[in-house]
Structure 1
Amino acid sequence: MHFKNNKQNHSRIIYFVINCILWAFILSLVWGGSHLVTGSPYVEDFKVLSDPVSEAISYRVFANITSSLHKTDTKFLSLTIDTYDLRYNWEEFFFKSKKLHNLAAALSPSDLRFGGTYSDFLTFDPTATHFTENNLLKNIRRAYQIDFGIFNRRFTIEEFTMSGSQWSSLNTFIEEVGWDLLYDVNLFKWNDGMWDPTNLELLLDYSSESGFKIPYFQLGNEPNTYPHNFNVTIPPETLTADLLALKAVLSKYPLYKDSSLFGPDVTNLNVPHRSVQYLSEFITAGAYNVVSGITLHHYYMNGKTAVQMDFLNLTIMNSMKRELELAVNIAATSPIPLPISITETSTCFAGGAPGLSDSYIGSFLWLDKLGLSAQYGVARVFRQTFLGTPDGLLADNMNPNPDFYLSVLFKKLIEGPVFNVSIDPQDENLRIYIHCARRKLYKAGAIVIYYLNVQANEAILDFPQFQDADLDLYLFTPGDDGLISRHFRLNNELVLMPHASLPPLRPQPHKGKVTVSPVSFGFIVIRNANVQLCIKHFAHQK
């Protein structure tokens, strides 16, 4: 009897195991080892798996065109070059490339922030024949990995030198491509416990004699992290006093006496290291009498741990809203209105997530960040970085990543009033933003709709306010490698840059409803929208 029961149990176990294996095999055929993204489609080998029984979802899109939330100007999307890039020989490599000039000019007009962690360790020497670097400055990727502001351990970073020749190369390049400089001044120059402007004055003397324009200045980088990173504390009231000293120095130079100051450049407001407290105390200390705007940094996640599903995760996307709400609420405590600028931002800190930040899927977070920032009235969004690392608009070989083309079109198409949007039915998987169209390309009164369809279904977009309107479509879909493609298709045409000139980014004319692909994004211009707020906005421009 006992033996018989064992035999029956054996049979049940074998039957159970066989069923498990069978179901695992069936599920592997259906899902292909996919990963589930919250609020997003299943993804197999980074390609979208559309549900064969689901149909396209129709949405009615409405804009409140009687009033605007805020306005953006043509430099709303701006750029950064990290101070650490000095390790390159700019004269021979960085700024003499025709291709680089063409790519940079395509993003004009822009402000360029030259700063970062290493700005607090830079010494200017106009007579230096070459730049120096210490043992820590060996690998640019490592520099970006620690340039979020929160290090695993304290670092001792020795000063390094920027030569007059390098400084001249940077400024000449900026002028040639139509950018304006935001210079991040070394705050770690001290004398008797006070900030010492001596080295800055050397740079200003050289710059003034050379006629280099520097419209904007900062002092220091992420000061709320100094105690953790460098065992140094510079309280908000001290930074405010140092900014006053900087303003006094600039007043001595006719070319820089009207330059604007910005600060304090704190890290994410939703992370530790007192960023919220520091920013609040900065305003309380009277910084509103010194700076022309408050500045902060933002990254969604750590590039070392980010995975593909994170880039379509609605919870991660919506975290930007909380960051912006905090910033707006803190700025509102200032007796004098202070615009907000995000002076360093991308998808991931630590230099980005290789194969993700620099691919098609990385563009979803970037476009959504631009849309949310515009809705919350942010004055500038500085993309970290222009060149190099996975988060760069350009790869190390100067080839454009998808975010570059997205940024070019954003700057080419958008300017002016930002409108509130509603869609029916409401769906967080479809994110839509609406602005006035830039008059450089379109007649005043045109509007631009840009969207992110973060789902496995096609979406049919209907614009009842603008029936039978003439549309221009700029629809982005991935290249041959699916969501991790380094290339993309614009209106089903693969976009490549085989030469030094930027390829044309032509729209597709259209009328009626617009069907957009699963997991895609793009721009839709309503050419003859005749929106009066847009017409009035451009009528007031010279």
Structure 2
Amino acid sequence: MGLLERHESKGRDTWDGLKLPELHCGVEFSGNPRDLKKKGLINAIKAFNPLRIKVGGSLQDQVVYGVGGVKNCPNFMKNEDSLFGFSQGYLPMERWDELNKFFNQTGVKVTFGLNALLGRNRSQIEKGLWVGDWQSQNARDFMKYTISKGYKVDSYEFGNQLSRAGMGASVEAEQYGRDILVLKNLVKELHREPKTQPKVLGPSGYYDVKCWELRFCESGGALHGGAKDLSPTFADGFWYLDQLRMASTYNHKAFCRQTLIGGNYALLNTTTSIPNPDYYSALLWHRLMGSTVLFVTQESNPNFRVYAHCTKKKPGISIIFINLSKDSSFNVTLSNYEHQSHNLRSTDVTKPNFEFRGSKDREEYHLAALARNIQGQIVLLNNVLMVPTETFDILTMEPKLVNASTPISIAAHSIVYVTIRDFQAPACA
């Protein structure tokens, strides 16, 4: 396997102070945990230090905020004639206070999903289409309350999947564009200091490039709560980590995982707050993969994928190996390739410079499913069962130290992170 250094431009510090194209793992907080004091939930969040949480989800476009002129609105009720089968619901400010106490305790950064359907009506012509201007007063009152309490919202997302190919409801691109400008102006009006202004995000959905030319992204591997026999299992990591790597290659600033709690695709079990396998994969990515992406070549097998970044904490590089094969294992030897010219042109070529022989032990993290059952929810890290302690503490994720001159062994149906501190990649200097 050869590594060809790739110098990526580093943008300004954004999204939790991480430089582009480093991909920050975030999650969507669409569930409604009964007890925000659960130690398992708190410890799982703190382990990321920090974690971005989006408060929202499918029903965010039916939420009225209990502030200003809004009094005594009911909770969500089942209603087959309404969007997603539920009536309009109500967020009391007492509940918002509780959530912010929880956010402050865990140190998360908050993206809040606003109701973007207020004031609109269902189209009489086209099913699923909502028409009319957005009514911003309730959002204004909510923001003013949030500011008065000193609560920190890092960004506001405008609606949930309202693009043309959205879910349940959609808004025309031109209308959405006009309304997101209204929201942007509202944020500027209420937050006078540019440095503390929340960002405005959208459209948070699947969209047709021909109709939707706004350049935003969010992604998920499954709809409607996820697939119960796949999303919370070890197998989901093969998609999840591949998606993280592809997004970082294309300079995306952040990837919001759906969800932290809620549905089958949650990082944490909705009932127990015990981490699902993807939690540990995401935590290792967050800790190891840095902001500079390296180009990797490998001549092996289409079921074997290799990605590399400069390590998050210098020096060295961090590599992730994904073995999709259920039968084949791989032994990998690294080679370092360097450019002949710093000013690359179409005529430039690369040549193998040397086969890597490190002097320091490398750090390895081998993730595998218990008993090789990739549709199970129990993960092993370096053959250690990853289950929280009786006091709900997240286990320390210690690497296995291996002689750097030996090949890296990648078992069938496994995911392996490797950090090599003395690998000389000029891009990581």
- TM-score between both structures, scaled by the size of structure 1: 0.65
- After superposition, the Cα gap between the structure-2 partners of 1:72 and 1:467, relative to the gap in structure 1 and judged at 3 Å, is farther
Does residue 103 in structure 1 map to residue 44 in structure 2? yes
Of 236-245 and 169-178, the range deviating more from structure 2 = 169-178
Distance 1:131 1:221 in 2: 21
Secondary structure at the counterpart of residue 427 of structure 1: coil
**Equivalent residue in structure 1 for 2:426, among 517, 532, 539:** 532
Alpha-carbon offset, residue 174 of structure 1: 2.1
Q: For residues 205 and 472 of structure 1, do their structure 2 counterparts lie closer, same or farther at Cα, with a shift above 3 Å needed?
A: same
- Structure 1 CA distance for aligned equivalents of residues 40 and 83 of structure 2: 39
Deviation at 1:348, TM superposition (A): 2.0
How many residues are paired up? 382
DSSP-derived class of the 1:524 partner = strand
Please say if residues 224 and 278 of structure 1, whose CA atoms lie closer than 8 Å, have aligned partners that are also in contact: no
Q: Which amino acid aligns with 2:287?
A: K
Task: Give the alignment partner of residue 111 of structure 2, picking from 164, 182, 194.
Answer: 182
- 2:380 matches 1:509: no
Cα displacement string for residues 331-366 of structure 1 (whole angstroms, at most 9, x for unaligned residues)? xxxxxxxxxx32x42x32222222322122221111
Mapped contact 1:68–1:420 kept (Cα < 8 A)? no
* 1:446 alignment partner, one of 298, 316, 337: 316
- After TM superposition, the structure 1 = structure 2 runs for residues 84-99 of structure 1, keeping only pairs within 5 Å, are 85-86=31-32, 89=34, 93=35, 95-99=36-40
Q: For 2:179, which of 221, 242, 246 is the aligned residue?
A: 242
Corresponding position: 1:384 with 2:258: yes
Asked if the contact 1:226/1:234 (under 8 Å) is kept, the reply is: no
1:474 to partner: Cα distance: 0.2
Which among 212, 217, 222 is matched to residue 279 of structure 1?
212
Amino acid at match of 2:230: L
Q: How far apart in 2 are the matches of 1:421 and 1:471?
A: 18
Distance of 1:109 and 1:399 partners within structure 2? 19
Counterparts of 1:99 and 1:222 in 2: how far apart (Å)?
Answer: 30
Distance in 1 of aligned mates of 2:167 and 2:376 = 38
1:497 aligns with 2:366: no
Mark the CA change 1:129 to 1:479 in structure 2 (over 3 Å): closer, same or farther.
Answer: farther
Shift in Å at residue 167 of structure 1? 1.1
* Structure 2 match to 1:168: 97
Cα distance, 1:255–1:401 mapped onto 2, change above 3 Å:
farther
Aligned to 1:474: 365
Answer yes or no: is 1:416 the counterpart of 2:345: no
> 1:50-74, CA deviations, whole angstroms, 9 ceiling, x for partnerless residues?
xxxxxxxxxxx21112524876466
Q: Structure 1 362/66 Cα, relative in aligned 2: closer, same or farther at 3 Å? A: closer
Distance in 2 between residues matched to 1:191 and 1:354, nearest whole Å: 34
Contact 2:231 2:264 (C-alpha < 8 Å) held by counterparts: yes
Post-superposition shift, 1:479? 0.6
CA distance in 2, matches of 1:228, 1:106: 33
Instruction: Provide the identity percentage.
Output: 20
Is the alpha carbon distance of 1:524 and 1:136 closer, same or farther for their aligned partners in structure 2, counting shifts above 3 Å? farther
Shift of 1:175: 2.6
- Secondary structure (helix, strand or coil) at the match of 1:265 reads coil
- Helix, strand or coil for the counterpart of 2:163? helix
1:460 and 2:334 aligned: no
| 2:162 counterpart residue number | 223
Inter-partner Cα distance in structure 1 for 2:157 and 2:21: 21
Q: Distance in 1 between matches of 2:333 and 2:167?
A: 52
User: Among 207, 211, 227, which residue is 2:146 paired with?
Assistant: 207
Asked if residue 398 in structure 1 is aligned to residue 276 in structure 2, the reply is: no
Q: Where do 5+ consecutive residues of structure 2 fail to align?
A: 11-18, 122-131, 337-355
Paired residue type of 2:296: V
Structure with more of its chain in helix, by fraction: 1
Aligned partner of 2:7 in structure 1 is: 67
The alpha carbon displacement at 1:277 in A equals: 2.9
Q: 2: CA distance between counterparts of 1:99 and 1:81?
A: 16
Q: 1:68 to 1:426 in 2, by over 3 A?
A: farther
Deviation at 1:413, TM superposition (A): 0.9
